[in-house]
Amino acid sequence: MAVIAMREALNQALREEMTRDGNVFVMGEDIGVFEGSYKVTAGLLKEFGERRVVDTPIAEEAIIGTGIGAAMLGLRPVLEIMTINFILVAMDQVVNHAAKIRYMFGGEVGVPVTIRTPGGGGQQLTAQHSQSLEVFFAHVPGLRVVAPSTPKDAKGMLKAAIRDDNPVIFIENISLYNTRGEVPDEEYLIPLDKAEIKRPGRDITFIGHSKGTLLALEAADRLAQEGIEAEVLDLRSLRPLDCDAIVESVKRTHRAVLVEEGWPTYGITAEVSATLMEHAFDYLDAPVKRVGGIEVPMPYSKPLENAVIPSVERVLEAARSIL
């Protein structure tokens, strides 16, 4: 197994799917000559040409709207929105159209579009450039929403997303593009609806996604030094949520700390917490704890940003309060 960076894994997924299926094409701002603001589309223009690697004007609503149109005729557009923050000007296309077209057409026409976009903060990019908005999408029936945390998952899930017949919001994270991990040499897919235990443990379950999973893993390492074995469950998929995996883990550990980078109010952690209340109440030995971003727009100043973004320390603090 090769060890590669997240951006490389995503790049491989795009290249492999474009090679496999002539209907797959990529479209977005600065993705051709420039190879993407985060270099995920590196080399694709050279390999596949301008017909299938389309640099667009700065028009997110048109990028997603035309992607939807092309998808309805059976193409497989993979749209890059430079950061999740900029998708907000195109939410009508996502929520009112991509998510509903199949239903409104009585199942006759689908929208097999994949929208890749990175969220997350930590780079001093401030209020309108650092948000974790996955919950906006995870709220909407008709969308699939995934947010992988490792290069292996990212590659396998992006390939699966492109092959999926539904609109998939594929959420990357600006601070994870350089994280490295093992990726199988042979072709593989990872299902879009399954969480995965990233570290088994018996004393407490940490549940997260994207960067939240990495914080949880680090916190689990620290607790292990004290003889506490935390299990880390990586959600990977946010819609649908893998309720079985969540409940099954907590039934064994009886304690849960939920971690997300975004604001926890009405957040992913709120949904997981509700799932535990409904399906694992009798197994809980302590209240469920949540760790997320402090509920303010992201400030520019480094000390302020550090205070706002969830940290390993805050995960540990939450864990210790219920252990």
Partner 1 sequence: MVATRQPATRRRRSEEMVDTAGIPPETLLEIYETMCLSKAMDDRVWVLAHSGEIALAVSCHGHEALQVASIYALRRGYDWMVPYYRDSAAALAMGLTPRDMMLAFFARREDSFSGARQFPNHFSSRTLNILSGSSDIATQIPHGVGIALASKMRKEDRVTITYFGDGATSEGDFHEAMNFAAVLKIPVIFLCENNEYAISVPRRKQMAIDDISNKAVGYGMPGVSVDGRDVFAVYRAVQEAAARARRGEGPTLVVANTYRIDPHTSNDPDRFYRDPKEITEQRKHDPVLRFSAFLNQHGFLTEEQDAAIAARVAAQVDEATDYARSAPQPVPEDAALYLYGN
Ligand X SMILES: Cc1ncc(C[n+]2csc(CCOP(=O)(O)OP(=O)(O)O)c2C)c(N)n1
Catalytic residue IDs: 60, 129
CA-CA-CA-CA dihedral for 145, 149, 152, 153, to nearest 10: -20
Does 307 help bind partner 1 (rule: CB under 8 A)? yes
Q: Single out the residue of 91, 228, 294, 322 in contact with partner 1 (rule: CB under 8 A).
A: 294
Task: Specify the stretch interacting with partner 1 by CB under 8 A; choose among 53-61, 148-156, 174-182, 281-289.
Answer: 53-61
35 is a site residue for partner 1 (CB under 8 A): yes
What does the binding site for ligand X look like in residue numbers (CB under 6 A)? 29, 58, 60, 82, 86, 89
Q: Report the residue from 1, 2, 59, 277 that binds partner 1 according to the rule CB under 8 A.
A: 59
Which position has the token pair 């292990």? 224
Let me know: does 177 contact 184? Beta carbons within 8 Å: no
Tell me if 304 contacts partner 1 by CB under 8 A.
Answer: yes
Length of the chain in residues, anyone?
A: 323
> Of partner 1, ligand X, none, which one does residue 125 interact with (CB within 5 to 8 Å by kind)?
partner 1
Rounded CA separation 47/45 (Å) = 5
- In the complex, the smallest distance separating the C-beta of residue 131 from partner 1, rounded to whole angstroms, is 11
Residue nearest to ligand X (CB): 86
Strand partners, 171: 117
Q: Looking at 51-59, 106-114, 205-213, 265-273, which segment touches partner 1 (CB under 8 A)?
A: 51-59
Between 61 and 248, whose beta carbon lies closer to partner 1? 61
Q: How far is the CB of 126 from ligand X (least distance, A)?
A: 11
- Contacts of partner 1 in 64-123 (CB under 8 A): 85-86, 88-89, 123
Q: Give the nearer residue to partner 1 in terms of CB position, either 16 or 61.
A: 61
Could you tell me the smallest distance in angstroms from the CB atom of residue 116 to ligand X?
A: 14
Task: Indicate the helix (H) or strand (E) that contains 298.
Answer: none
Element (H, E) at 78: strand 76-80
Residue 81 phi/psi, 5° resolution? -105, 120
Q: Which of 15, 16, 23, 30 lies at the binding interface for partner 1 (CB under 8 A)?
A: 30
Q: Are strands 168-173 and 289-291 parallel, antiparallel or unpaired?
A: unpaired
Question: Cβ 304 to ligand X, closest distance in Å?
Answer: 21
DSSP state of 92: I
- How far apart CA 302 and CA 320 sit, in angstroms, is 27
* Residue 112 structure tokens: 């097999």
Nearer to partner 1, 165 or 295 (CB): 295
Quote the tokens at residue 304.
Answer: 């302020």
The Cα 21–Cα 186 span in angstroms is 18
- Angle between helix 6-20 and helix 151-163 axes, rounded to 10 deg: 30
Contact set with partner 1 (CB under 8 A):
29-30, 33-35, 37, 55, 57-61, 85-86, 88-89, 123-129, 294-297, 299-304, 306-308
